[in-house]
Amino acid sequence: MGAAPDLVITGGTVVTDSWSGLASVVVVGEKVESLLDPSVDVESLGAARVVDASGQYVLPGGVDPHCHLAIPLGAFLTLDTFESASLAALAGGTTTVVDFAIPVVGQDPVAALDEKLAMAVESRCDYAFHGVLNTHPANVDDVVSAFVERGVRTIKLFTTYRGELMVSIETIESVMRALSTVSGLTYIHAEENNAIEAAQAAAAEEGRIDARGMAASRPAEAEEQAVVEVLAAARRAGAPVYFVHQSIPSAVDLVAEARSEGMHAYSESCPHYLALDDSCYDGANPERFVCCPPIRDASTVSVLGQRLADGMVHTVGSDHCCYSSGQKEQASHDVRIMPNGLPGVETRMSVTWNQFVKPGLMTPEDFVRVMSSNPARLNGLYPRKGTIEPGADADLVIFDPNETRTVTIDDLHMHTDYTPYEGRSVTGWPTTVVMRGQVVVHGGVVTDPGPIGRLQRSEAITFW
C-alpha cells in the first residue's frame, strides 16, 4: 500500500449487492483504496482516522433515483433547496440524488436543465439529472445530444397532467428511439390521462374531490393501462424503459412479463407505496398523503411488497417532494389543484430497511441492490457509485440494524413541518455517513461540509 490512508472503517460487515463479509474499508482521498481481511492490524496502517463499525453494516452510499428539489409545479414551489435537501439526504444515508429538470410550459428543456445545473452547485451530496420533455421538440435527436453533452442520458416523460407535463405516445416512442442510440433510458410516469380525468370528473360530481377522495381520483386501472401502452411503444422502438413510482403489483407484473420476453424494462417503487396504505386518507390530515399515484389499499400494498421481496422491483426511490402541511391545506378541497408529493429523501433507507430487511423479507444484499447499486446502474453511474470496491467513490454508510427511533419531524432535516411517518417506530438507521472520503455524519450528528457535491455525469448505461 502506498500513502497512509485518510480513513479506515473497521469491524463492520461490508455489504454489496453480490457479497457481504467482515472487512476493513481503506480510503485514500476520495476513493476506496482496498478491502482488508479483518485480521489485518489497521493501526499499523497509520490512518488519519479510524472508525469502528463493530456490530453494524457498512453499505455503499444510497443513490436516490427519484428526487424533486426546488421545483415550481402549478402555483406551488417546494420548500427545499439543494443545500437543505442534500443535507437531509446525507442524514438518511443517501450520498447521490438524481433530480428532474422539469421545464415550465413553453420553456426549452435544455434551458431548464441548465437552470438546475446552476442551482445544484450548492449541493452537499453528489447529484445527477434526468432531462424532462413536456412537448414534442422540433428535433428530438438534437435535444438528446444536448442532454448527453451535459452528462444526462435519461429523460422522463409523463402520460398525464394534460397541458402541463403530458406528452403523446408518439413523442414517447420518438424519445425512446433517440435515447437508445446513446445507451440512454426513458423514464415514464405511467397513468392513463383520460381515465384519470374521467375519475376526477365523477369524484367532483359526487362531492368527493377533496383529499379524502384521493385514492379513487386516480384509479389503479389508469396506471395499468398506461404501462401497457408504453411497453407497446418500447417494443416498437426496440428500446429500454423504466417506470417510476409503481404503486400496484399488476404494473410490476407487466414489466416482469416484458422482461421475460427479453425487453430491458424496469420497475421502481417508493417507500410510501410499500409502507403506508390508503387508511391515511381517513385520518386527521389526509392532504399530507396526497401523491400521484395515490397510496393504495392495504391488500395491494402487501402484494406490492412481496414483488419487491421477490426481486421484481429494481429500485426504490423517494419521489421526494418537500411541501409543507400549510401548502397542502391551501387546496385540500380539490386534489386536481393541490400540490402532490411527500417528503422522503431522508427516510427512504430506514423505512425500507424496517419494512423489509428487519422482518427477513429481504437480505442486506437485496437492500443494497435496490437502494444503491441498481439506481447507480440505471443512471450510468456504476461502479463509481453504488458499490464498495477499489476505485469506487468512498461513499459509505455505517448502518446500525438495531437502532430504533420514533420518527418525528423535529429530528429530521428536511425543510417541511411534517413527515408521513410521524410517530412510527423504525429500526435501522445510519450512524456514520462518508461522502467521497469525508465524514459528514457521525454518531447521528450531521456536519455541514459545505457545497462539496459534484455533478455525476451519466456514462453509457449497461442494461440487464
List pLDDT tens digits, range 70-126: 887 767 888 999 999 999 999 999 999 999 999 999 999 999 999 999 999 999 999
pLDDT the model gives residue 2: 67
Instruction: Check whether 1 has a pLDDT greater than 90.
Output: no
Residue with cell 417506530: 425
Q: For 16-74, how does the pLDDT look when each residue is reduced to its tens digit (9 = 90+)?
A: 999 999 999 999 999 999 999 999 999 999 999 999 999 999 999 999 999 999 887 76
Q: For 384-413, how does the pLDDT look when each residue is reduced to its tens digit (9 = 90+)?
A: 999 999 999 999 999 999 999 999 999 999
For residue 451, the 8-state DSSP code is: S
Looking at residue 238, its amino acid is G
Lowest mean pLDDT among 13-22, 66-75, 271-280, 297-306: 66-75
Q: What percent of the chain stands above pLDDT 70?
A: 99
Per-residue burial over 384-403, b if 16 or more Cβ lie within 10 Å, else e, is: bbbbbeeebbbbbbbbbbee
Q: Phi first, then psi: what are they for 40, rounded to 5°?
A: -70, 135
pLDDT the model gives residue 279: 98
pLDDT range class, residue 200, cuts 50, 70, 90: very high
Alpha helices in 285-386 (DSSP H): 298-309, 325-330, 348-352, 364-368, 374-377
- Please classify residue 262 by burial: count the beta carbons closer than 10 Å to its beta carbon, then call 0-12 exposed, 13-18 middle and 19+ buried: exposed
List 185's β-bridge partners, or say none.
154
Look up the CATH architecture of domain 61-377. Answer: Alpha-Beta Barrel (3.20)
Query: Domain residue spans in the chain?
Result: 61-377
Residues 6 or more apart whose CB falls under 8 angstroms from that of 260 comprise none
Put simply, whether the predicted model's pTM sits higher than 0.75 gets the answer yes
